[in-house]
Structure 1
Amino acid sequence: MATKVLPPKQLQNIRFFVSRSLKTSSSSSSVSTASTAVSPLCLAEKPEPSFQKPPTTIQDHAKPSILDFHDHQKLFSNLPTTKLLHASANLYFGSIGPVVDFGMWVMNSRLMETDNIVRDAMLKTVRRTFFEHFCAGEDVVEAGRCIKKANEAGLRGMLVFAVEYTGHNDACDQNLKGFLDTVHSAMSLPPSSVSSVVVKVTAICPLSLLERASDLLRWQQRDPSFNLPWKHNSFPILSDSSPLYHTLKKPEPLTLQEELDLQLGQERLWKLCEKSVQANIPLTVDAENTTVQPAIDYLTYSAAIKYNKDDNPIVYGTIQTYLKDAKERLLLVCKAAEKMRVPMGFKLVRGAYMLSENKLASSLGYDSPIHNSIQDTHACFNDCASFMLEKIANSSDAVILATHNVESGRLAATKALDLGIGKGNEKLEFAQLYGMSDALSFGLSKAGFQVSKYMPYGPVDKVIHYLLRRAEENRGLLSASSIDGELMRKELKRRLKAAIF
């Protein structure tokens, strides 16, 4: 593909950035070595440092890798130089710990609580840098344009109205309207360009109520005779190995008002499911922290029983595989769903609440619910992925493998082909965050698989909480052997040479 000669001013900017990046980055290894590295911002998952390949049931058959990361020109052929330069710059500055720390300090300070010059300046800076890089826009129209561009590049979009953590019903109703508008907008986009719409239950059901319901569900796990009159039919929510330390004493039953509010939350989810069924667009329910996850799973599985019909899973749950009980819970749900002949969809992630989970468990004097090592987390993700791939090869179930880990992507892609799961199969989707792991996304897409980008959108002051969580989970790790950073620098250098010579 021919490269157009760029204006002198743009060439000068590229020369400066490429030169600085190459000088300041740690000595880069070859791409083959970088293929085991990770992209530190993850789709609702914790960072993934370099590692030795863990034991896994996804076997390596010593076949040539179906993911080719050597041809950076081919991988980034759909990205214009300005976009590539902007992405590389954001990844570079996001790797500087003091810069991230200062930004987080300001965004969490009282300066951001009222309108003032500092707040306006910070929001404007965030909007022009990290927001533009990691988010799809400020409204559903901008997000739609972003999805169309991704679709032209061979990728799909998981459309995310990025609101969460509401405290009262009025806000929940307003958020529901935003989610319904998201589905409506997805219906107007090119067919199959939207792989799913994503919802956080804490946006449509008050947080304190979800905590109360989770306490009661945990106590019922301790004592199966404990009656919950508000509980509808659902799949197993907890397992024998699930952490129960959040609920140390028998909780009080829900009040009548709390029962009514929980029913309202469930009805909001049902309305969203009905809209998704009409659009024939899957609805993915994100996982959150373990203080509220039992209630989230209860509402999700109840909705799946109601709306997953005719071999078409519309409602997808999420399993965070950094949790020690993840695989056991996945097996229990799948067994129950198979018995009831309900097709199930799951999104598998590693997890995004590592810091808060560890802090809470430690404060209560209990072991962390998260695996003791990153190798154990990798092994759990790969085992769960292997199990789900075998399921979708022989049933109507579906899975989204949400990972930035190149090794997990390669192993899963190889396993899928070995099982006869054809490339482009709608029951298998790979996914990465918008703005991260583009090399893996394009590599999987060019290998013929369905690949989505997780695309949050919304006003900057709303989405900032999503960006802060990502920054907190991935502090200082963007510089850690990022395959994206290395390949982008190589492609920018190639384009610079082509433009000059």
Structure 2
Amino acid sequence: MATRVVPQKIIKNLRYKTTTKPLNASHPSAAATVASLLEKQPATTPPPPPPSSQQSASFLDLNDAERLFSAVPTSTLLRSSAVLHATAIGPVVDVGIWAMQSKLLQMGIMKDAVMAVTKRTFYEHFCAGEDAVAAGRSIRSVNEAGLRGMLVYGVEDAHDNEGCNRNLNGFLHTVDVSKSLPPSSVSFVIVKITAICPMALLERISDLLRWQQKDSSFNLPWKQDSLPIFSESSPLYHTPNKPEPLTQQEEHDLNLANQRLQQLCQKCVEANMPLLVDAEHTTVQPAIDYFTYSSAIMHNKDDNPIVFGTIQTYLKDAKERLFLATQAADKIGIPMGFKLVRGAYMSTESKIAESFGYGSPIHDSIEDTHNCFNDCSAFLLEKIADGKGSLVLATHNIESGNLAAAKAYEIGMGKVNHKLEFAQLCGMSDALSFGLSNAGFRVSKYMPFGPVEMVMPYLLRRAEENRGLLAASGFDRQLIRKELGRRLKASIF
């Protein structure tokens, strides 16, 4: 049966509001459905006015550099200042990317030199260490500063079952390490489905799922119960022709991949450690969502989501897919956990779409992406305030952080709340992280670990996909420079 979607005009009305009102739509039943999902305030309580940008901007104290960085050693501030300044210079980033990718520099003594420089700069700034033990020390360090850590075993793509099994052992060990650290210092263990299921198989599964979206009579005998993966606006151009069914070997490999994920999920259930599934590009994202949602149905119980999915809000269909997934989860009575991000595969998505002769699935402007993130954030904050589910707001955008923090306080989630977590990448937007923490919110840093060569794809993505974000780190650079100047002056006088 084809997925029933909510009309686009209704989804577009899910705008960022500080109060929830019934939505107007020409389709009464759809409007009623949306209104029932967005909790209304009691009629006796007059609705407060929406916060203006100026009001929301003043919600978090992000100007007191001394307070923000009080728990950060001077040596760390010096390294952060140097790396952030270097990554703000385009030619420096270009040379760094070339050096990390160049085959000429990936052999012998030159390789050792490139790896050594990378380790002392990008790696030490953006990563938590070469193994789980080192990552544990980094987690303790950020925890002493009032933050938490997301443990990220830095392996990415696998191409055969042997590699997938090896990667699974790394993820299982990560859960064991999280249990050995101080209580609540680790907020999530992160998994990439691309590391425990061969990439070629994920592409095949995604093709089959897309074709079933086109043709509801298309039978997938291996498919388990899941939440909606697509909406009417989801890109399906990756699969222009009807794909062949999975071969016997592919079904066997699919079963092995599912067993790996279930073993990891069960270990997280036993450890009461949430497992967050990272998102990828749209070529394989349908299969990743399928794995995520089918596992959530099996393991998310009561009001305790163990399996979290990721929504990339730079995609035009993000809001609608989020609504459909939460609606379906409500219907079958499971709590869902979501991480909202803007996204990190913009150039890849545009190139893939262009190769098929289609427009990019990414929003046409950064403003549209910001609006989508803020709208999805507001929708989920309202939803989890008095209901089931949990939310991770992964953002480096100060305005989005302010808006969400103000919204959370307004609906009674201002104190430390297990349902809401803010998150930023290790080495990025530390001022926002500490500002949110000082305001009483749980805040995590995304902390990948592993040998330098293993996490190289992650480092390249930070340099390539987030080049604009790195260049926009002037806010942090200015505050760090201010605090370093204060400390120098204090030591002299």
Q: TM-score scaled to structure 1, two decimals? A: 0.87
Q: 1:217 aligns with which of 209, 212, 218?
A: 209
Q: Distance in 2 between matches of 1:398 and 1:434?
A: 22
- Once the 2 structures are TM-superposed, how far is the Cα of residue 306 of structure 1 from its aligned partner? 0.3
Q: 2:17 aligns with which of 57, 60, 64?
A: 57
Contact 2:88–2:473, Cα closer than 8 Å, also in 1? no
Q: Distance in 1 between matches of 2:473 and 2:312?
A: 24
Q: Distance in 2 between matches of 1:194 and 1:319?
A: 22
Alignment of 1:206 with 2:198, yes or no, is: yes
Report what 1:140 is aligned to.
132
Contact 1:403–1:431, Cα closer than 8 Å, also in 2? yes
Q: Distance in 2 between matches of 1:185 and 1:286?
A: 20
Q: Distance in 2 between matches of 1:377 and 1:63?
A: 19
Residue 392 of structure 2: SS of its match in structure 1? strand
- Unaligned stretches of 5+ in structure 1? 1-54
- Once the 2 structures are TM-superposed, how far is the Cα of residue 112 of structure 1 from its aligned partner? 4.8
Residue 317 of structure 1: SS of its match in structure 2? strand
Report what 1:99 is aligned to.
92
Q: Distance in 1 between matches of 2:323 and 2:388?
A: 16
Report the CA distance shift for 1:83/1:481 in structure 2 as closer, same or farther (over 3 A): closer
- Once the 2 structures are TM-superposed, how far is the Cα of residue 408 of structure 1 from its aligned partner? 0.3
Contact 1:135–1:456, Cα closer than 8 Å, also in 2? yes
Q: Structure 2 counterpart of 1:60, which letter? A: P
Q: Distance in 2 between matches of 1:82 and 1:454?
A: 21
Report what 2:478 is aligned to.
486
Q: 1:449 aligns with which of 441, 451, 462?
A: 441
Q: TM-score scaled to structure 2, two decimals? A: 0.89
Q: Distance in 2 between matches of 1:421 and 1:500?
A: 44
* CA RMSD, Structure 1 to Structure 2 (Å): 1.2
Residue 411 of structure 1: SS of its match in structure 2? helix
- Once the 2 structures are TM-superposed, how far is the Cα of residue 217 of structure 1 from its aligned partner? 0.3
Alignment of 1:279 with 2:271, yes or no, is: yes
- Once the 2 structures are TM-superposed, how far is the Cα of residue 481 of structure 1 from its aligned partner? 5.8
- 1:340-399 Cα deviation digits (max 9, x unpaired): 000000000000000000011112110100000100000000000001001111212000
- Unaligned stretches of 5+ in structure 2? 1-14, 19-49
Q: Structure 2 counterpart of 1:106, which letter? A: A
- Once the 2 structures are TM-superposed, how far is the Cα of residue 89 of structure 1 from its aligned partner? 0.4
Residue 111 of structure 1: SS of its match in structure 2? coil
Contact 2:57–2:399, Cα closer than 8 Å, also in 1? no
Q: Structure 1 counterpart of 2:183, which letter? A: P
Alignment of 1:415 with 2:407, yes or no, is: yes
Q: Structure 1 counterpart of 2:16, which letter? A: T
Report what 1:86 is aligned to.
79
- Count of aligned pairs between the two proteins: 446
Q: 1:398 aligns with which of 376, 385, 390?
A: 390
* Equivalences for residues 21-170 of structure 1 within 5 A: 56-57=16-17, 59-60=50-51, 62=55, 65-113=58-106, 115-170=107-162
Residue 256 of structure 2: SS of its match in structure 1? helix
| Sequence identity (%) | 65
- Once the 2 structures are TM-superposed, how far is the Cα of residue 129 of structure 1 from its aligned partner? 1.0
Q: 1:348 aligns with which of 315, 340, 360?
A: 340
- 1:256-288 Cα deviation digits (max 9, x unpaired): 110110111111111110010011010000000
Q: Distance in 2 between matches of 1:446 and 1:434?
A: 18
Higher relative contact order (CA 8 A, sep 6+): 1
Q: Distance in 2 between matches of 1:460 and 1:231?
A: 37
Alignment of 1:244 with 2:236, yes or no, is: yes
Q: Distance in 1 between matches of 2:401 and 2:56?
A: 15
- Once the 2 structures are TM-superposed, how far is the Cα of residue 497 of structure 1 from its aligned partner? 1.2
Higher mean displacement: 203-212 or 488-497? 488-497
Q: Distance in 2 between matches of 1:488 and 1:277?
A: 40
Report what 2:287 is aligned to.
295
- Once the 2 structures are TM-superposed, how far is the Cα of residue 98 of structure 1 from its aligned partner? 1.2
